[in-house]
Amino acid sequence: MSTGGLGGLNKSPNGVVFGVVQLQLPNVVTPTDLAVQTQCIVDLVAKARRNLPTMDLVVFPEYSLHGLSMDTNPAIMCSLDGPEMAAFRKACVDNSIWGCFSIMELNPGGMPYNTGVVIDAEGVIKLYYRKLHPWVPVEPWEPGNVGIPTCIGPKGCILALIICHDGMFPECARECAYKGAEIMIRTAGYTAPIREPWRYTNRSNAFCNLMATVNVCMCGSDGTFDSMGEGMIVNYDGEVLAHGTTGRPNEIITAEIRPDLVREARATWGGENNPYQL
């Protein structure tokens, strides 16, 4: 079985290389803090491109922009047409790379949404998702209302995105697969007590759906919370291709995924072709 092409260093013709950023957990209280953290993420997009020229898509964790304070202050909430999103779109263009980003989205009719976006290398938003399952009773976010969308990603792969607690519900991963996703991204802000459930659900979500999973948490401490990093890229058979176990903030974990082999397995496997057999 593939080992991820030495972390994507040796990219195959049919491969898609992902990088997941174990981002240092920030403290964001003011609009100035938000602007500083936006620039930090932009700088890490550039680092990802310099780090691995073969990389197709760089993934940032849930809460990468706002931290874990759960602050709903409208002054630091974001919108799709706001300066933070404009900076992320420009970073993708400037570095010729796709990116997956997290924002807390202003919702004039209620609590903010916990939103994830995938932006292509031309700066176009290709996927827009609102977290379906806030982590009760801690998170204040409005439950998502756009379902689980998919999009065509780099090299024609089919991508889906879920966020953190969504991945503890097998139904969410199965919905991604039934909508055709070959690769499911899962971003999170989980802290250390969830380490083991995080590891085995990332693998079970892959194996049970013949679907690669690309997963990453925030990392390091903000003085109150300790996030764990735990970037994991898992093949469609549940094998771990890459796993960040050092807990080192801002480390980028990389691997190559072969969506053509996902398609082949779904079309030809007999035993354990779970999406088909169900």
Residue 25 is given by DSSP the state: P
CA 46 vs CA 21, 39, 258, 265, 266: distances in Å: 12, 11, 24, 35, 35
Q: How far is the C-alpha of 116 from the C-alpha of 149, rounded, in Å?
A: 11
Collapse the DSSP code of 268 into the 3-class scheme (helix H, G, I; strand E, B; otherwise coil) and give the result: helix
Q: How far is the C-alpha of 192 from the C-alpha of 209, rounded, in Å?
A: 26
Residues annotated catalytic, as ranges: 62, 131, 164
Burial class (CB in 10 A: 0-12, 13-18, 19+), 99: buried
Q: How far is the C-alpha of 199 from the C-alpha of 232, rounded, in Å?
A: 8
- Between 31-51 and 83-95, two packed helices, what is the crossing angle to 10 degrees? 10
Q: How far is the C-alpha of 87 from the C-alpha of 95, rounded, in Å?
A: 12
CA 95 vs CA 16, 246, 264: distances in Å: 17, 27, 32
Collapse the DSSP code of 112 into the 3-class scheme (helix H, G, I; strand E, B; otherwise coil) and give the result: coil
Beta strands in the chain (DSSP E): 16-22, 57-59, 98-105, 113-119, 125-130, 150-152, 158-163, 183-188, 212-217, 219-221, 226-228, 232-234, 240-243, 251-257
* Cis peptide bond prior to 74, omega within 30° of 0: no
240-243/232-234 β-pairing: antiparallel
